[in-house]
Amino acid sequence: MDVLKARVPTTGITEIVFPFREAHLRMIDVGGQRSEQRKWIHCFDNVNGVLFIAAISGYNLFVDDEENPKADGSVGRKNRLRYSMELFKRIANHQCFNKKTAIILFLNKIDIFKEKIVNHPLDLCFKNYKGPAQSLEPAAKYVADRFSRLVNAEIQ
């Protein structure tokens, strides 16, 4: 059996309109790259819901953090999942959304997370995690709960 996996990064803003029951739903896909984030604010007017997708498998990966350089001037590093949490918090608590705006969190790449958790325990990223070190369900629930607490809250 041949399996092909492909990934195409989203750049720019893509709008898709599709019929659903008696309505037409408009979905706007905004690129996840940091360079695209400044464009998002223009898409937030008159929004009924936000689907935020975060890779749960990023708990042991890092991204460059140009906004917080090291003392020597070099580029800092930030945990990828924590970066996603910070971004989720900024979006979910944005002033243009109200209590009626549905905020939906979709944690993807669970298959990769399942493989990683065996050799890289979740407490590498979350020191307060006290669940079973190599168990998928409790670890995934812990991450989902941490995201949920960010709506109108502080990152711990």
Q: Please check if 32 is assigned to a binding site.
A: yes
Structure tokens at 11: 């750049």
End-to-end Cα, the chain, rounded Å: 45
Q: Please check if 109 is assigned to a binding site.
A: yes
- Alpha-carbon distance of 121 to 132, in angstroms, equals 9
Q: Please check if 138 is assigned to a binding site.
A: no
Domain-located, residue 95:
yes
Domain-located, residue 26:
no
Q: Please check if 108 is assigned to a binding site.
A: yes
Confidence check: pLDDT of 2 > 60: no
Domain-located, residue 137:
yes
What is the per-residue pLDDT for 10?
64
Q: DSSP character for 150?
A: T
Domain-located, residue 68:
yes
Q: Please check if 31 is assigned to a binding site.
A: yes
Domain-located, residue 122:
yes
Q: Which helix (H) or strand (E) element contains residue 82?
A: helix 80-92
Domain range for 127: 44-148
The amino acid present at 44, given as its one-letter code, is F
Domain-located, residue 2:
no
Q: Please check if 58 is assigned to a binding site.
A: no
Q: Please check if 3 is assigned to a binding site.
A: no
Q: Please check if 10 is assigned to a binding site.
A: yes
Q: Please check if 29 is assigned to a binding site.
A: yes
Range with the poorest average pLDDT among 11-15, 40-44, 86-90, 116-120: 40-44
Segment 14-34 shows an average pLDDT of: 76
Answer for the pair 52, 105: CB distance below 8 angstroms, yes or no.
yes
Segment 88-106 shows an average pLDDT of: 86
Domain-located, residue 103:
yes
List, in sequence order, the alpha helices (H) in 95-156: 110-116, 136-148
Confidence check: pLDDT of 47 > 50: yes
pLDDT digits (tens, 9 = 90+) for 101-143: 888 999 999 999 999 999 999 998 899 999 998 899 999 999 9
Confidence check: pLDDT of 48 > 60: yes
Domain-located, residue 25:
no
- Alpha-carbon distance of 109 to 116, in angstroms, equals 11
Q: Please check if 89 is assigned to a binding site.
A: no
Top-confidence residue, 104 or 97: 104
Q: Please check if 110 is assigned to a binding site.
A: yes
Q: Please check if 8 is assigned to a binding site.
A: yes
Q: What is the CATH number of the domain that holds 84?
A: 3.40.50.300
Nearest to 53 by CA among 103, 17, 3: 103
| Domain count across the chain | 1
Q: Please check if 5 is assigned to a binding site.
A: yes
Confidence (pTM): 0.78
